[in-house]
Structure 1
């Protein structure tokens, strides 16, 4: 049995099959090898839902009661660790004021096998949404009065609306395509529970393709006035519990660690309204030196806590300390140092 799904009407069902094949590729299972038991269970669960798909029906007409007086195109994007999706639907208003929502098409793609962060996958979903929007507008004679693109990722929306454009080539090319095919004012935030693309982003336990389902009938908030649509919360009042621990093993070498700390210090200085020279350029030698100094202070405070505390209050360091015989002291910048032979010399030639 084959499946004909060019417009993506069955995306909530086919996305599970794509994720299943991706998992098989990730485990490097050969064509003549048995499928692992956990993957086979997912396969059987997906196969048992095929009878629901066989009886599904999709309305042929967008507007069964004639041409609408007002028409809008809404594109929803979303991403998960396995797939990213774009879903487009029409929002039409009749002359009587009644609002209807109709699914236009959907597109899903598997995430790369190589691990990619969720924000980058959300960026890929945004690109897919812009391409889907362009495809619909090029292949329809009707022209909507407005277009809206919805995402539940605040990170992506901040990136799109930011005037900062100094990105690496991977991100720069995708942002260029997004801004070329859409306008910043067209992007909106939507909660995950109201994101239509979420239905086709990850496999669900049960699939509903009935004519009254949310997938075919659209989201309920689109039937209300625009003033009641979801709006982004004031993120200035949202507090996040930060992890104060610095994980050194997350960096492959010391230079990467210093650069990361230097960027954090620059951000702190900006928040404190300090005037810094050359902020529009990359990191300076002074900033890298300040980051190295901070790292040295942190490492010394973690490794020689009792020694530092004893020297600060003017007491002798503990006898069991490994630095006892090295005459340690604190310099004018708070770094722990030890006396050397040069310091003991009365004069230098």
Structure 2
């Protein structure tokens, strides 16, 4: 009897232990589930808080962006207005220079015509010398006016109809400067420039010769050598000045290279090199400055490519011709010419008159 009761008790105890174990397991699982739920809730709250913070930040950034956009729009408007005023000022400056240059050019050309007529009738040697001086002064004015016109985008309408030797191109350029007697030219008699390139080459070389004489002692010579090279011809100009420091040389090279307009050249602009640069880009010849002159000064090398050279058939001596009176006009690229294709502006003409006629 007792043994049966003990067995029942043992069985009941076992059941209780099993039930208690299951209860503990359920409690542990429930606790873990509650912890997971709590952590999930905390994560959700954190995510929600971050989202609210991000939304607030976005609203703040949107407001700031709106303000920034407004500020940038205001700045851009101011810059556009400043650029517009600068364009108006630049156009006004250019129009003023162009008007002055046209008047100078017209007056100088008329003066040269009158002086050319006098030269045909004056027999007195002393008076002829004075007339030649006046003619030379008129040639200076013509060159200065043409320089201004070129800087305004106005190209001479005169054009040579026949090739001109590079020797005569340099001599024609020599006749356009004040100290023409200091220039010594060698070579180039058998190298001929195509007709459309003659005026541009003369004008550019005249500006370079002017610089060479101005920035070297008056008692020294400026040596010019014209020679043929594999790719065309070169005109080498050497002066006996002090040369250029590296910073000045770089600035001068920049004027040749950068295509500056009148408003960018300063309050007292030096137009010569800028004008040379414009001619070089229009016609396609090269200009290089260096301190490699054998005379201690500055060397300028003008490279004339083959396409600007031609045969001497029907050539003329440019230095022997007087310019005719023409009105400069705005021109674009010329069509293909007998002497070369696509040579830039219709920019050639006979050289200005002057003392060097040999």
Shorter chain as normaliser: what TM range? under 0.3
Judging by fraction of residues, say which structure has more helix.
Answer: 2
With the length of structure 2 as denominator, give the TM-score of the two structures. Answer: 0.23
User: Which structure's relative contact order is higher, taking Cα pairs within 8 Å and 6+ residues apart?
Assistant: 2
With the length of structure 1 as denominator, give the TM-score of the two structures. Answer: 0.23
Larger Rg: 2
